[in-house]
Each structure stands twice: as structure tokens, then as C-alpha cells.
A and B are shown apart, each in its own frame.
Chain A
Amino acid sequence: MRTRERAASVRMIDEPLKPDLVLVLTYLALSAIGLLMVYSATAPGLEAVGRDPATELRSQAIFVVIGFIVFVAMSMVDLVELKGFTGPIYLASIVPLVMVLTALGDSEGLAQRWIQLGPIQFQPSELAKIAAILMVASLLAQAELPLKWDTVARVVIVVGIPALLIFRQPDLGTTLVFAFVLLSMLFVGGATMRQLGFLFVATVVGTVGIFQLNMIKAYQITRLTAFIDPGSSSLDATYNQVQSEIAIGSGGLFGKGLFEGTQTNLQFVPVQSTDFIFTAVGEQFGFVGSLVVIALFGLLLFRLLIIATSARSRFAFLVTIGIAAMLAFHIFVNIGMTIRIMPVTGLPLPFMSAGGTVFVALSASIGFAHSAWIRRNSPVGE
């Protein structure tokens, strides 16, 4: 690998900074589809109460613009320079996680996940995910191979602190994102099968323990178990999922057409512009449309893995894998939730769900990956 990298760097050393068009276009396409879906899902409801049907679209569009700017900005940041700041960034991400659990936190539904900064609502867990990825990548990048147990332990602690804080909010979905990202990064970072096996067992035991010790809230158990047999419960979580499933199922092969989604447009599906945005795709554009969206996500993940393998530094390589794993987990759990193969956890669909923090944070994260691509041939300043 090193040989090939060097050869490539020799060949392409003088080329200017060139963007990954496939990555950028996929990102923009998903964002555009997301905007359209947000509009189609919210316009009838807003119109019904006499408000401007584009209200939600407008605010999401602003987030997309901000997000894109952040994406471009992060693409400019050299990860090598960033590497030195991972510690402060990590620490800075922990502070609001603590704050959100105090009186400053705002609760939506049954969990405290938000912080109000002036007019802006801010979800600190989104930032924490990226900070943790950067921190883990810098730890693993310096470590000798094969990884020692104490390195693994350090990495687990780094991930465990924000994960536990987020678990206390409580936000089980995001906590599981940390677990998935941790395992993925350790795997590609050179952990032995024994280490991975140990962590896997520990995760399983921990999860069982959480249930056994009643550390999990009742509504979370309901959500988690209700999806197995939605007919047995009339709780909101189940209602959402059943409605979502009916909407997507009734979409058929080609969908009911834009603005023709009876379930979506008649507001049978709640929180459809955020967590259940995929419902709008499935109902209005059918199987074909759903497959296009999944293919775009697949392409995005594929590009990220390509970027990872061509990264000039081990740090960039690990950051990109971490980001890809985070996105993959979001995509699978979110869409899986709307079609009732995963429980309802409240993870948004990347680039499509309405919401500012998450869009900006994910834009920043692929901005880092993009930066790795742009600088894949630059001299490694190690």
C-alpha cells in the first residue's frame, strides 16, 4: 500500500486541489431530494392551519446553505493540521453534553437533547459524534500495530464518556451510533479479532445489563419491543411506525406521485419531516424512488471508502472510516425504522431529515473526508 501511495504521489504531485465531484454531487442530490420531501411533507399541514406552506422548506434551505458552506470550509481544512486540535475539540464537545443534562437543556418529547443558544437550538450530541471520531482516529493513528489492550481501553474510554452522557439524555440511538463507529474504527485500525470479540461481548453484556438494571426508560423499551408486534400496542411509537409502514407499502412500484401521497400529505405519519422523512420518499416515489435514494447513499458510502483507502495519512484514513460508519448506521437504522425492521430510535436520515444541527454536523463530517480526498497526494508532513 505504501508503495502504491508513493507511486501515486509521484505521478500526481503537481496537480491542483480537485474536488471529488461524485461525492459533492451525491451530497447535493440527497440534500435537494431532502428539501423536496420536507416541503411535500409539511406544506399541506401548514396550509391547513393558514400558514405559508414553504415555512419549513425555507428554514431547511437555510440549513442546507449553511451546511454546504461548512462542507466547503471543512474541505479546505488540512486534516494534518486538525490532528493537533483533536484533544481540545473533544473536550469542548463534552461540555455541552453535560450542560444539556442540567437546567439549560430543553426537552422535546420525553428526552433532553437540546440547548438553546439565543435564537438557535443546538443539539450537542451531533458535534460530539464528530469530535469522538477525530479523537479516536488520532489515538489509533499514533498507536503501534498490532494494537495493545491499553490503547483499546483508552479508545473505549474516549468513546464511552460522550456515549454515556448521551445515554443519560436519554438517546439510545445515538449511543448505539458510538458503539458501531467504535467497533468499525477499531476493526480497520488494526484491532485483533480477540479484542474485537471482547468488545462485542462487552457491548452485548452491557446492553442486557442496561435492560436488567432498569436504566432504560419505559418508553424506550416500549419502542424497542413494540416494533416486533405493532398490533399489540397503541402507543405513539407504534402508531408512527405502523403509519409509516402503511405509507411506504401503499406507495407501490412507482409511488403515488409528488404531493399525491395520501398518508404523508394528509399527515397520517407524524414527525414525517424529521425522523420519518423516508416515508415521503417511499409513498410518493415508490420502490423505484426509494431505490434511487438508497443507491445515492450507497454511492456516498462507496466514495467514502474509496477516499479512506486513498488517504495519505492513517489519521485521515481512520476519520473517513469513522464518518462512513456513522453515516451507514444512521441510514440503516433510520430507513429500517420506517419500514419496521428496526426499532424507533430517533436517528435522523442524513442530509434529508429536517433539522439544522444534524445537517451542518454531517456536512462538516463529509467535509473532513472530502479534505482527505483533495489532499490525498500532498506530502505527508509526518
Chain B
Amino acid sequence: MTNTMRVGVVGIVFATLLAVLGIRLWTMQVSEVYAYEALAAKQQVRVVTTPAPRGDIYDTNGVKLAGTRSALAIVVDLALVDIEEIDLLAENLAAFLNEPASDIVEQLSAENRGAQITVARDITDSQATFLLERREDFPGVTVIPQPIRTYPLGELAAHVLGYIGRPNDEDLERKDVDGNDFVGRAGVEKSYDVQLQGIEGIVQYRVDAKRKVLSLVGEEAPTAGRSLILTIDSKVQERLQESLRLGLTQARRLEMDERAKVLTERSRSDRVAEALVEARLEAAEAPDDSTETTSTTSDVGVDDNDVASEPEPITVDPAEVLGPLDTGLPIDADGMCVPVQRLTIRLGGEGVLSGIEPRFVRLDSVAEMDGELVATVSISGTKTAVKVNGWVDKARRVLQVLAVSEDEIILLHKDPWCPVRATGVVLDPNDGSIIAMSSFPTYDPTVFVDGLSAEQWASLGTVSAFQNFAVQGQYAPASTFKVVPYVLALEENFYPMDRGAGDKIVGEGADQGAESEPVALQSDTDEYFCGGEFKFALNDGTFQRKRDWKWPGSHGLLDLHGALAASCDLYFWDIALRLWQERADDSGLDKENLLQGWARSFGFGAATGIDLPFEKDGLIPDKAWFKEEQRKETGRVRQGPWVGGDLMDIAVGQGATLVTPLQLANGFAAMVNGGTVWQPRVVARVVDSDGGVIDENPRLALSTIDLSPRTVRMLRDDLQQVVNDQDRGTARVAFAGFGANVDLVGGKTGTGEVIKAPKAEHFRQVDDALFVGVAPIDNPKWVVSVIIERGGGGGLVAAPVARQVLQYLVNGPEGVTELAPGSEED
């Protein structure tokens, strides 16, 4: 190869290298120029967002329930802070804000580089001035006005409003939400979050590589969120809340009175003796039962929860009879019972268990055993070793371990008999509007604006004050549910088996007209004997026994109408029993599921779809559900077949039946309004900041049931009798002081048995008190449901609460009289 050729080769190599550069430049600068332009543009523009004020929330009369105010916030623009300065800045801010430096360092961590971090909200003017005068100590710190949520009426309608907080993972999946935002976490703040949120303002700056601002590119002011007009009437809401509070206090007082009676009036030995007598009585009846009942587990058997089938020997443990009453249960400063108290004890420290006679708890030591922490605590000198979730005193079960750590134990001092909560709903049966909704204990949503403190969480969280029990609480509807078999009886012409002197035409009277045909099956009797005890033959010829709430008393002779007014269990059991016994007949009716079908048609057993989050379904049990639970082994049902007794339990709203307070009100509304099930709603419309309507939220009928006008009229009349019948209406005592227009009011009591106790230990029985009221009865405008959890008798404690609310609705604010207990009736 000659020199020239070799130089030529070198030249070709050089040319190739330069050509490679040229080709690459062509692809970058000509073919893909747009992609690079976009990248370049993105780098030079810095976008700063300004939070939008959340929309306001008003009640139906324009009273502001939630708004915003402007407050000064400390914002650190991390783009303006050098990495070396971050620690110093965090230290200074921590000192200034009196917070642990580690918290601030975490907020200013490297992952947030370039972001704007709000480290403090709502500082004072003088604090702001201090910061701005010492910029060199606080690099990158700015003070900017930020909107802050306010709730001018505090606790009013807190459960409907909900609260706001930092977004959780699910919220963060939304495109418009980042970790610095506040989003609704409950109530309409959550369900209407998108409308309330507004649109963040955007300021775009042109910046250089050091992020120094060169010029303003564009600015878009934030758009305030939309406002909500609720269906809530704050005046009624206020009345409901006050009555619920009074009602719960009264229930607790009654509970304390009962305990005092147990502890003082009757001596300990008396009660032990009484318990022994009862136990003997039960035992004496047992042989009688066993001769009649050849098989309690036959497919037509009845659950034997209520039946004392325990054979000999008969012994009574005095400690069992007295329960924990003599060892002390938690009380508050007023000497009232409290359902649960939270107690944190440090290692080697001591805590006080409140009670009539306070006790001292010491945390002696914490040790690890088999990977679990075991704490040794001593109460009045007695040492016990406990693990998390364990009970300090297994027999009494009032002191439970919530958490154990190396140097601390958290105990829950529980009173399982203390009335825990009062929940109420007022709605308009003509369109499903919620006029008031609350449960007590409640909270002020403002506590969430600055984040919940540990003490607030301990005091409010422990009693679940933040949950809206009107839609999240599930209770056995008990006797209030008797309206379902009542409607079934009238609509299906289906009555109990005749136990009385003779048949009688239903709906006798001149106004029946052509509707009443004297057909044999269409019969009701006013001589149905509603005794205290219900003995009934099963298909296989054996006998079962159930007891009415009035046992050992009796309701005497009555018909369907009397049965509802007096809340006779037997009558409705009998309807269920007949449905069960005729379940295989050729009527073409699915009688086994007929009762549940009617219950579901009024919206029971399914969420109503109200515009509030976390709504529960409730439960209307049936055979299919029962089998499914057994198959999945959820532990919620017993072994064996689904039996007639289960159906009988549903007829009186017991067994596994569950409803929410909202479903209860809405179901009654559908019955008394003629058969329309409305979808409940709390938001009437969404408006923009000028008041222009963006979205109407009109009433929506979920379904319409073809109820005969006669059924509706009769139901209204009989509900009116519950309140007005001076002989046997179960709510008559509660409504005795109602004043004018009491004849316009109807309702139904209910007492849900949570823990059933024998008569001698009556003080240990736990009942939920229920009442559903309707007014005016001839053209209903309001349905009120009240549930007092562990409150006691529905007629005793729930009906008086509803009475105050109905007094307010019917007779105005002046018509409301003081709360007083009703009668201990179902």
C-alpha cells in the first residue's frame, strides 16, 4: 500500500467520523426537534400552584355550615434551597415552630426536591414578620396566604359535613390531588370532594438553570370550589343533636339508678337467692320441655337461645350474679358511666381506673415470650400477665389490653352495659330529603384542619365519634320491624292461625266499601290471645316455646291493630310460623321468603345510596344467606339447618336482622307515604360561587310498591295508636307530656336485645332502644328514627328523644318540653 493510499484510508476514516456526527445532528435537530423543544420548554418554566378555596356548605335556609378563611402559611420552596442549607433551615424552622427537627427534615427530604412544602399553617402576623425579616436564616421560606376550612357552627351536623384531611393512597390516584392538598375524608366533604375542591391557581415563571425566576410567563387565579346547599335544616338539626345528647345522658342516668338499686336496695344475698330460685324454675320446666321436644335440631326446630334447657346441677356463682358491679366500672367526673376509657401507663408508672371506688393499675414489667410482648400489671396488689387484646380480669371482662410496647401499655377500661351512643335521623317521606342526621358523641370538624392531636384521637376516636352511625351503624330493628309482617298480613291477607274465640272480618266498618269481601281467609280476629309465653307445635308434632317481652305478664286478647299498638310478639311470631308451616303449599307464593321480600321492598338489607360515604347494607337474613355463611364458615351462624324459629326472629326484627338508622327512617317513610321508596339525599343542589345552580340533585324514587290505600291508612292509624292508645300504646307514657297535636303523631317502639339476661339479673341485660316517629300522621311530612345503643327500653329512653324532636317539628320551639323517661315497654 502506498503512502497516498494509506492517507486516503485515513481521510475516509475522518470523513466517516464527521458524517456520523452530521447524521446524528440531523436526527436530533430535524427529525426529533419537537420532542427536544418540549423538553427544553418544560425545563424553563416553573409552575407554582396556589390552592383554591373549598366551596362553602349551606343548610336549606342558607345558614353557612362550612366556609373558608384566609390564613398565613409558611411554605418552603425547595427549589430555592441549596442542599447544604437544608439541615440548617430545618433546625431554624423547628426552633421557630417549636416542633421536633426530625419532622421538618422529613418534610424537606430529598424526594421533595423542587416542590413547595407547607410546613406550618395559620401563623400570626408577627410570626410572619419575624420570618421575613430574617431571610438569611430561613432560605427559600415564603409566607403566603392559604385558605383554611372553617365550620362556623362547630359540632352542628358534623357527621353530615364530614371532615377534610391529607389524601390517602386511594385519593392520590386522582389526577388533581397531590400530597400537599386537603381532601374530604368523610361526609359530604368526601362524597362531593370533586365539586368542593375547586381548581388550583397556576403561576408560571421562566427560570434559569439555578431556578432563579427571570420573568412571569402566565398567571391563572384559583377557581373557588362549588358550594353545596344541603337538605339539612340547621334548626331541626340542633334540636335533634341536643335531644340525642340529653337522651344519652338520661339513659346513662337510668342505668346508674338501676345499678344503685341493685347495689343498695337489695342485698347481695337476696340477689343470689333470687337467681337460685329462677335457675330452679328454669330447671323444673326443662323436663317438661324435653318430653315434648323430641328433637331440637329437626329441620322444623326453633333456635333455643331463649330456652333454658340446662339440666342439673343447679348452682349459682355469686360473683357471676353480681358481675363487675362491685369491682367498679369506669365513670366520668359527674359520676356517670362511660362505655370505654383509654388509659396509657408507662413502665413502672401507675394509672387510675376510674370508678365509684377508683383502683390503681401499675405496669410492673414487659417481657418477650414466644415473639409476643407480655406485660405484668398489678391492680390493688394482684398481679396479672397479659398480652395484647387480652383481658386483665378474664371473669369480668372490663379491662382489655389495646397495645403493649417495650415501655408502655394502653388499656381500655370498658363498661359493656353503659349506654354508648344516640343516633337519629329526620327525613321527609315525600322526597327522601334528610332534614337532620346526627349521632352523639360527636365532634367539631375543625379539629381535623390542623391535624388531630393524640389526645383528641384518644378521647374521640376511642368512642368512634368520627363515624356517622346514621348510615354506618347496624342494629337489630327489634319491634319497630313488626310493621313489615303487619303490612304483609294486610297486603297478602295472611293472618296468624286462629287461637281465639272466633273469626272476624278484617277492616270491619262502614268505610270499607267494595274492597272488603267476606272471604274466609281474609280474616282477622280481635280475640287472638297474646299471652306472655308462646308454645307452638312444630310440623313433626313436637312443641317449642318462646317468650314475649311482657312475660310473665300478658297482652290479653287483641287483633292485628292491637298487636302493633301493644307490640305483641306472639302475633307476629305466629304469622312467621304460619309462613314457615305453609312454605311448601301450592299457593304459588314463596312463603319461606315472603317476609324477607316485603322487608327488602322497603329498602331494608341494602344500602339506600344516600350521597354520604361508607354506608352499610344492613341484613335481611334468609335460608340462602344462612347456608352461604355456613359454607364460608364465617362463624356468624350456628350449625344445623335454617329453621322456622329464624323466620320468627325476623318477624320481630331480631335474630341476624340488621338495619341502619337511615334505613329504618326511610323504610317507614315508604310505608306511610303510600309505597314510594325515595333515595335519601343530603345535598339539594350544587351551586357556583355566585349562587348559580350547577347541579340539581332532584328526588329519586328507588322503587314504588303497590300498597293498597287501606293498608297505608290502617298502618298510620295503628302507629298513631302506639303513641295515643292510653291503655296499651307502648309509647304513650313517653308522649304523655307532648301537649297539643299529640293526635297527629304516630310511631313504633323497639327494644333490641343485645345481651339477654335472666329476670333476676335484669340489670345485666343490654338492650338497644329504638323508636320511629311519624307526623303529621294523616299526611306525613317527617319521619324520625332514634336509636340509643345499649340504651334500654325503646319506650323508656328512645321514644322521649323522638318526642322532643317531634314536638319541635309539630308545635315549634316553644312546644318542646323537658326530657323525661317513658315507660319500660317495648
Contact = CB atoms under 8 A, between A and B. Distances in A.
Interface of A: 1, 48, 184, 187-188, 243, 245-253, 262-263, 266-270, 282, 286-287, 290-291, 294, 297-298, 301-302, 305, 308-309, 317, 321, 324-325, 328, 331-332, 335-336, 339, 341
B18 A187 contact: no
Interface in B1-50: 2-4, 6-7, 9-11, 13-15, 17-18, 20-22, 24-26, 28-30, 32-33, 35-37, 39-40, 43-44
Contacts of B37: 249-250, 252
Given A294-B21, A297-B18, A335-B21, A187 B28 contact: no
13 contacts: A1-B2, A1-B4, A184-B10, A248-B29, A249-B37, A251-B29, A266-B44, A266-B208, A309-B3, A309-B4, A317-B3, A324-B10, A335-B21
Which of under 10, 10 to 19, 20 to 34, or 35 or more describes the interface residues of B?
35 or more
Contacts, number: 124
A268 B208 contact: yes
B10 A287 contact: no
B43 A263 contact: yes
B668 to A, nearest CB: 64
A305 B18 contact: no
Interface string B189-220: 00000000000000000011110101000000
Nearest to A283: B40
B28 A339 contact: yes
Given A287-B25, A298-B18, A309-B3, A252 B30 contact: yes
The 7 closest A-B pairs by CB, nearest first: A249-B36, A250-B40, A287-B29, A266-B208, A250-B36, A268-B209, A249-B28
Interface string B207-247: 11110101000000000000000000000000000000000
Contacts of A336: 20-21, 24
Given A253-B30, A328-B17, A332-B18, A246 B36 contact: yes
B344 to A, nearest CB: 45
Nearest to A266: B208
Given A301-B14, A328-B17, A290 B29 contact: yes
A262 B30 CA distance: 18
Interface string B661-675: 000000000000000
Given A268-B208, A282-B29, A294 B22 contact: yes
B210 A267 contact: yes
Contacts of B30: 252-253, 287
A305 B10 contact: yes
Given A247-B40, A308-B7, A309-B7, A253 B33 contact: yes
Q: Secondary structure at chain A's binding surface: helix, strand, loop or mixed?
A: helix
A189 B486 CA distance: 115
A3 B139 CA distance: 78
A166 B154 CA distance: 76
A321 B10 contact: yes
Nearest to A267: B209
Of the listed residues B9, B10, B44, the one surrounded by the most CB atoms of chain A closer than 10 A to its CB is B10
B14 A249 contact: no
B40 A246 contact: yes
A188 B29 CA distance: 36
Given A294-B21, A339-B24, A339-B25, A1 B36 contact: no
Of the listed residues A1, A249, A253, the one surrounded by the most CB atoms of chain B closer than 10 A to its CB is A249
Of the listed residues A245, A270, A309, the one surrounded by the most CB atoms of chain B closer than 10 A to its CB is A309
Contact of A291 (B4, B10, B17, B25): B25
Given A1-B3, A298-B18, A309-B4, A246 B43 contact: yes
A250 B13 CA distance: 29
Contacts of B15: 298
Contacts of A339: 21, 24-25, 28
Contacts of B24: 336, 339, 341
A372 to B, nearest CB: 13
Nearest to A268: B209
A2 to B, nearest CB: 10
A262 B44 CA distance: 8
B404 to A, nearest CB: 44
B29 A324 contact: no
A227 B39 CA distance: 18
A245 B28 contact: yes
Contacts of B9: 187
Contacts of B40: 246-247, 249-250, 262-263
Given A324-B10, A336-B20, 9 more contacts: A246-B43, A247-B40, A248-B28, A249-B29, A249-B32, A250-B33, A266-B207, A298-B18, A341-B20
Contacts of B44: 262-263, 266, 268
B14 A324 contact: yes
Contact of B10 (A188, A243, A266, A270): A188
A55 to B, nearest CB: 18
B22 A302 contact: no
Nearest to B44: A262
Contacts of B33: 249-253
A248 B21 CA distance: 12
A282 B17 contact: no
A302 B2 contact: no
